[in-house]
């Protein structure tokens, strides 16, 4: 069975982990968000792709929710002592990956090929691909002006109220090699429980990807990132309230209008009228078993739609 997943960082990676547990990983393609990418110390950092690599490679710091387990911070501390701007946290091991990626990009290897190569090194049997190899960057419009995504998310702790989002480079961005094939060959398309505006939004901002999913011949299922109307972590609930008019499952479904056939959402959100098939279950991914159960709920939803 081939399943193609659209994913941001943490929520998406945890869901993907459950999916790899539920079906043969060789059939799984994960399309990751690159709107969060940035340059730090001249190095290209892809936080969401890296969260996917670390989580599916079994080397993520689960407690912290980002970065690598057993991380140390000597390089960043040294940079800080020497007066560098060091608000974006990069551990020593993490930096090693960014160095290897910078070297490969410098040689002309596309981000998609680099990501696939790193996944193989980490022993990941699924394909992990960036939505695009082109430059695509998320900007956040706030009451304090327009901010680059990480400036808003990390440096300003996503405090400034969001008025809108913009995806720089989206008009000309092409799907990365493998992405359209992954969608074409899928038996099921899943939108992971990721932030609809800043994790999934930049993926759909690539016209070819949105068009491929809009024209799908197989079921597409989204999993809500909200539980009881609240984000497990991060600003998704605030963004939905502000940009979609509310935080119940119908507002999540509306973010994906025409792009999904079913929405998996948490039982604590109660009964809601949806334009797509509702699948109500427990969606908190506390441990490996819960992640797998959530992936299985999405698979069952798809089977029922066929
Ligand atoms: P980021 O790029 O690291 O912010 O990650 P994502 O956009 O992929 O995931 C963030 C979203 O995941 C947040 O909106 C959370 O509410 C959601 N999330 C995290 N853990 C869970 C969980 O256990 N269950 C569900 N349903 N959503 C979750
Ligand atoms: Ca992200």
Q: Could you tell which of 190, 192, 194 is best to mutate to test the pocket of ligand 1, judged by most ligand atoms within 8 Å of the CB?
A: 194
Torsion of CA 214, 236, 198, 102, to 10 degrees: -130
Ligand 1 touching residue 283 (CB < 6 A) = yes
Query: What does DSSP assign to residue 268?
Result: G
Residue 184: which pLDDT band, with cuts at 50, 70 and 90?
Answer: very high
Is pLDDT of 95 > 90?
yes
Q: Is the CB of 240 under 6 A from ligand 1?
A: no
For ligand 1, atom 6, which residue shows the shortest CA distance? Answer: 194
Sort strands 3-7 and 28-32 into parallel, antiparallel or unpaired.
Answer: parallel
Chain centroid, CA 255 distance in Å: 15
Residue 301, judged by CB atoms within 10 A of its CB (0-12, 13-18, 19+), counts as buried
Q: Give me the residues paired with residue 146 across strands.
A: 141
Q: What is the model's pLDDT at position 261?
A: 98
Task: Using CA atoms of 143, 148, 154, 155 in order, give the dihedral in degrees to the nearest 10.
Answer: -70
Number of helical (H) and strand (E) elements in the chain, helices listed first = 12, 14
Tokens of 52: 């996917």
Mean pLDDT of the residues in the chain: 97
- Rounded to 5 degrees, what are φ and ψ at 261? -115, -15
Closest ligand 1 atom number to CA of residue 8: 8
Minimum-distance ligand 1 atom for the alpha carbon of 153: 4
Helix then strand then coil, in percent of the chain rounded to 5, is 40, 20, 40
Q: Which two tokens stand for residue 217?
A: 């011949």
Q: How far is ligand 2, taken at its centre, from the CA of residue 51, in Å?
A: 9
Would you state the torsion angle of the CA atoms of residues 92, 95, 96, 100, taken in this order, to the nearest 10 degrees?
-170
Helix axes 92-107, 74-81, angle to 10 degrees: 80
Among residues 282, 198, 210, which one has the least CA distance to residue 239?
198
Tens of pLDDT, residue by residue over 23-53, are 999 999 999 999 999 999 999 999 999 999 9
Q: Whose CA is nearest to atom 12 of ligand 1?
A: 11
Give the pLDDT confidence of 242-252 residue by residue, as tens digits: 999 999 999 99
Structure tokens at 237: 């609930």
Closest CA to 206 of 33, 47, 86: 33
pLDDT band at 192 (very low <50, low <70, confident <90, very high): very high
Burial group, residue 84, by CB count within 10 angstroms (0-12, 13-18, 19+): exposed
**Residue among 32, 195, 295, 298 whose CB has most ligand 1 atoms within 8 A, to mutate:** 195
Residue 63 clears pLDDT 90, i.e. is over it: no
Select from 305, 306, 298 the least CA-distant residue to 264. Answer: 298
Residues 137, 147: Cα–Cα separation, whole Å: 11
Strand partners, 277: 262
pLDDT given at position 147: 98
Ligand lying closest to the C-alpha of residue 229: 1
Q: Which residue is it, tokens 């040294």?
A: 78
Residue 48 alpha carbon, nearest atom of ligand 1? 2
pLDDT per residue as tens digits for the range 252-299 = 999 999 999 999 999 999 999 999 999 999 999 999 999 999 999 999
What is the atom index within ligand 1 of the atom nearest the CA of 226?
A: 16
Rounded to the nearest angstrom, the distance between the alpha carbon of 256 and the centre of ligand 1 is: 16
Using the mean position of ligand 1's atoms as its centre, give its distance from the Cα of residue 92 in Å. 25
Q: Is the CB of 193 under 6 A from ligand 1?
A: yes
pLDDT(152) > 90: yes
Do residues 282 and 267 make contact, with C-beta atoms less than 8 angstroms apart? yes
Counting residues of the chain whose pLDDT is more than 90, the rounded percentage is 96
Residues sharing a CB contact under 8 Å with residue 93, sequence separation 6 or more, in sequence order: 68, 70, 71, 72
The C-alpha R_g of the chain, in whole angstroms, comes to 18
pLDDT of the residue at 305: 87
* Residue 4 to residue 186: CA distance in whole angstroms: 6
Whole-angstrom CA distances from 145 to 75, 111, 205, 257, 276 are: 32, 30, 22, 29, 36
pLDDT of residue 306: 80
**pTM here?**
0.98
Confidence class of residue 180 from pLDDT cuts 50, 70 and 90? very high
CA of 142 to the centre of ligand 2 (A): 18
| Contact present, 41 and 227 (Cβ < 8 Å) | no
CB-CB neighbours of 185 under 10 Å? 12
Query: What is the predicted pLDDT for the residue at 64?
Result: 87
pLDDT at position 65 over 90: no
């Amino acid at each position: 069975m081939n399943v193609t997943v659209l994913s941001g960082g943490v929520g998406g990676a945890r869901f993907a982990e459950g999916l790899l547990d539920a079906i043969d990983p060789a059939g799984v393609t994960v399309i990751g968000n690159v709107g969060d990418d940035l340059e730090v110390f001249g190095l290209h950092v892809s936080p969401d792709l890296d969260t996917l690599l670390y989580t599916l490679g079994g080397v993520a710091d689960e407690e912290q929710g980002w970065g690598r387990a057993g991380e140390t911070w000597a390089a960043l501390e040294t940079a800080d002592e020497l007066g560098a701007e060091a608000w974006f946290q990069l551990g020593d091991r993490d930096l090693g990956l960014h160095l290897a990626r910078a070297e490969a990009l410098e040689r002309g290897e596309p981000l998609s090929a680099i990501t696939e190569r790193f996944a193989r090194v980490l022993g990941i049997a699924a394909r992990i691909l960036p939505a695009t190899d082109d430059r695509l960057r998320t900007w956040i419009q706030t009451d304090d002006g327009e901010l680059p995504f990480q400036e808003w998310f990390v440096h300003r702790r996503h405090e400034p109220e969001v008025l809108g989002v913009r995806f720089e480079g989206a008009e000309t961005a092409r799907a990365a090699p493998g992405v359209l094939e992954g969608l074409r060959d899928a038996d099921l398309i899943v939108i992971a429980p990721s932030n609809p505006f800043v994790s999934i939004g930049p993926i759909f901002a690539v016209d070819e990807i949105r068009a491929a999913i809009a024209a799908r011949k197989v079921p597409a299922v989204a999993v809500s990132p909200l539980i009881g109307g609240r984000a497990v972590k991060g600003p998704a609930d605030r963004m939905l309230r502000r940009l979609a008019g509310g935080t119940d499952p119908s507002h999540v479904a509306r973010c994906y209008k025409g792009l999904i056939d079913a929405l998996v959402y948490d039982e604590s959100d109660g009964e809601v009228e949806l334009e797509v098939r509702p699948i109500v279950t427990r969606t908190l991914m506390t441990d490996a078993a819960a992640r797998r159960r959530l992936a299985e709920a999405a698979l069952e939803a798809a089977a029922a739609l066929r």
